[in-house]
Structure 1
Amino acid sequence: MSVQSAAIEVLKKAGKPLHAAEIAKLIIEAGLWKSDGKTPEATVSARLYSDIKSSGDKSPFVKVGPQTFALRDSTEIEGDTASVLAPVEKPSKPHPTNAGFSFIDCAQKVLEEFGGKKPMHYKEITEKALEKGWLVTSGKTPEASMYAQVITEIKRQQKRGERPRFVQHGRGYIGLSQWMGRGLAFQIEQHNHQVRKALRERLLSMKPGEFEELISQLLAEMGFEMVEVTKLSGDGGIDVRGTLVVGDVVRIKMAVQVKKWKLKNNILAPVVQQVRGSLGAHEQGLIITTSDFSAGAIKEAAQPDKTPIALMNGEQLVMLLMEHGIGVHRSTPDLFEIDEEFAVKDPNHAN
């Protein structure tokens, strides 16, 4: 029985959404499916997500949370499923900026030069950036764009377990996290640094087949469709194949080679050449490693007269795993800060 068929059986019986780990446990216990690897939940998650991406509304599954799935016709799906099934709005095109600074870079530059280690309102930040000529935009609402991009930057870095560059202080006020010194934010970043290090070490302890399944799961979470781990032999050095879909318009066939190598054992140029030589018709290449790439490999991958090869090193891999909640779980404490505009008294009327 396939993973998909087995998953349908256990989801019907459960009558509610289940995490991939629970689905894997139930189908193995019921004898519906057998996994030879140590990470069956990764295989289950990748297969179900791939089914959703390739079949769309015809898939029997819906994703209702990180690595959590339900049957499409189930009446027990929780409220947040609606957001999964709702049509995705196409993001607006970013406003062009000058060659030097993006909205994000402008915000940091303004805060560093004019903030005086105190939060500034996003409208004031935008005004200063425009006044100094650091920000050039044809948009009619640069203030809104500035605020939206800063907030997006904060959320993205938080999802990756990084210390955000900016801190949101409420009522549109923004500051730099570096002003917070070695407080709670610093401690959180130190903790997350250790988590990233531990996650990277665990990747190195995985068997090759398990690592390839993990990569296929990550690619599916990143928006790849038809993700498939190749056979152990006869793959020409290619471990995973899939199609990168951008905005449901652009489709790029990708051939991926994964290298579970120890740190400081960097990928060299011949590996890049091997991957390029193994590409099929209309395919582009991607090399993912737990280590890093030599200068020669980076240069070879970007040769202008050859098919480009994308590179993902160990640090980038760990960041993406954390961003998509693979191998980690998020623990979010409630952090309160004083509203900068709350009960501010006029010093002339002090008691």
Structure 2
Amino acid sequence: MASAEDRVLAYLRQHQEGADDDDLAAAMGWSYRQRANQVCKAMAQKGVVERKVVDGKIRSFALDAPGLPTSEGSAVPISAYLSFTDAAEYVLENQVQRRLLHYRDITERALAAGVLTSTGRTPEATMYSQIHAEVQRQTKRGEVPRFTKPEAGFIGLTRWLPRGVVREIEAQNQRVRTKLHQRLLSLDPIEFEALVARLLSALGFEEVELTPAKGDGGIDVRGTLVVGEVIRTRMAVQVKRWKHNVHTPVIQQVRGSLGAHEQGLIITTSGFSAGARSEAERADATPVALMDGSQLVSVLIENDIGVRRDSYDLIKLEEESDDTQCPD
């Protein structure tokens, strides 16, 4: 999802006449103008926008908007552009009339609006592949995708669907996520370790093996992460079926138990303290990756472990399809 600053910048680049705080608040869907004021002030301090008094009101202008003068040799910072998927959302949301758009049209409009840049020869193909990948990823995780793809090549926004449908899907998926997490907590240690070993295999690990219950420094599972059949990384995994956060000493214990050329991974049903996360990321030490309870549930769902999927077709009366009319 695009940040508030990205969305404001994209809007201002498309509206060379600038916008005051009231205009921006309305365009962004914010309930109060003060948020627009705060965002624009922060962007002005970064040199991304300029704020001027016009007809008695302070208006914000994108300094790199097409058609506006820029200093010689200056370039639009890459951070000013949106990602392909965020640019697609921007184009779909800012249509005069809401309707599905073909991914080629979305790409063309995003480039023309100046919210997207691409050095590739086929940006439209990149657009479609990234939207498709995001939909697949979010669907596998039991999340409601940002985009819909009701017809070949055509894209819409899920929030255009009747809210009752979306809310029911979100509520059901959240109930399943909660129950799955509760089920993990109810497993005995041996069952939980076996489940993690199964998950690692689904994620592409090879040579996955459970370690003896004692005498291995707290390491529960070992395996080799294989990427592209070329990169092979030995991983030592410790699992924590806990309700309270994992703290720094656990990170240090795992790191001290690593063998030569091994990296660490800690998987927990709970979370990690700020100190633990900082220790895991310490630059002068062997990396230790962290997976908290929410991430564990998402990855299990993504790999269809502990859940099953049901799919249904949503139909509408023909006269109700005006909002989703496809372009010619």
Same fold (TM over 0.5): yes
The equivalent residue for 1:198 is 179
* 1:98–1:135 Cα contact (<8 Å) kept: no
Identify which of 278, 282, 291 aligns with 1:312. Answer: 291
1:112, CA displacement in angstroms?
A: 3.0
Unaligned runs of at least 5 residues, structure 1: 1-96, 345-351
For residues 115-154 of structure 1, the aligned pairs below 5 Å read: 117-154=98-135
The equivalent residue for 2:54 is none
Q: 1:343 to 1:302 in 2, by over 3 A?
A: closer
1:273, CA displacement in angstroms?
A: 1.1
For 2:97 and 2:252, the matched residues in 1 are separated by 51
For 1:295 and 1:116, the matched residues in 2 are separated by 46
1:146, CA displacement in angstroms?
A: 0.6
For 1:110 and 1:179, the matched residues in 2 are separated by 14
The residue identity in structure 1 corresponding to 2:271 is D
Secondary structure, counterpart of 2:168 in structure 1: helix
Counterpart check, 1:107 vs 2:88: yes
1:139, CA displacement in angstroms?
A: 1.6
The residue identity in structure 2 corresponding to 1:329 is R
Identify which of 194, 210, 235 aligns with 1:213. Answer: 194
For 1:343 and 1:162, the matched residues in 2 are separated by 28
Q: CA-to-partner distance for each residue in 1:128-171, whole Å, 9 max, x for gaps? A: 22223332222211112111211221122111111001111314
Counterpart check, 1:322 vs 2:267: no
The equivalent residue for 1:272 is 251
The residue identity in structure 2 corresponding to 1:318 is V
* 2:83–2:116 Cα contact (<8 Å) kept: yes
For 1:326 and 1:118, the matched residues in 2 are separated by 37
Identify which of 288, 295, 298 aligns with 2:277. Answer: 298
* 2:100–2:325 Cα contact (<8 Å) kept: no
For 1:343 and 1:192, the matched residues in 2 are separated by 33
* 1:98–1:134 Cα contact (<8 Å) kept: no
For residues 17-96 of structure 1, the aligned pairs below 5 Å read: none
The equivalent residue for 1:84 is none
1:294, CA displacement in angstroms?
A: 1.1
The equivalent residue for 1:176 is 157
The equivalent residue for 2:268 is 289
Secondary structure, counterpart of 1:183 in structure 2: helix
Counterpart check, 1:247 vs 2:228: yes
Secondary structure, counterpart of 2:148 in structure 1: strand
1:175, CA displacement in angstroms?
A: 1.8
Secondary structure, counterpart of 1:169 in structure 2: strand
For 2:164 and 2:171, the matched residues in 1 are separated by 11
1:124, CA displacement in angstroms?
A: 2.1
1:113, CA displacement in angstroms?
A: 3.3
1:180, CA displacement in angstroms?
A: 2.4
The residue identity in structure 2 corresponding to 1:288 is I
Secondary structure, counterpart of 2:94 in structure 1: helix
* 2:159–2:166 Cα contact (<8 Å) kept: no
Secondary structure, counterpart of 1:137 in structure 2: coil
1:301, CA displacement in angstroms?
A: 0.8
For 2:177 and 2:268, the matched residues in 1 are separated by 15
For 1:222 and 1:159, the matched residues in 2 are separated by 13
Secondary structure, counterpart of 1:210 in structure 2: helix
Q: CA-to-partner distance for each residue in 1:43-76, whole Å, 9 max, x for gaps? A: xxxxxxxxxxxxxxxxxxxxxxxxxxxxxxxxxx
Deviates more, 1:239-248 or 1:331-340: 331-340
Q: 1:280 to 1:341 in 2, by over 3 A?
A: same
Q: TM-score, normalised by structure 1?
A: 0.66
The equivalent residue for 2:218 is 237
The equivalent residue for 2:141 is 160
* 1:272–1:301 Cα contact (<8 Å) kept: yes
Secondary structure, counterpart of 2:313 in structure 1: coil
Secondary structure, counterpart of 2:163 in structure 1: coil
Unaligned runs of at least 5 residues, structure 2: 1-76
* 1:163–1:186 Cα contact (<8 Å) kept: no
The residue identity in structure 1 corresponding to 2:106 is I
The residue identity in structure 2 corresponding to 1:156 is R
Identify which of 329, 332, 336 aligns with 2:311. Answer: 332
1:110, CA displacement in angstroms?
A: 2.5
The residue identity in structure 2 corresponding to 1:182 is R
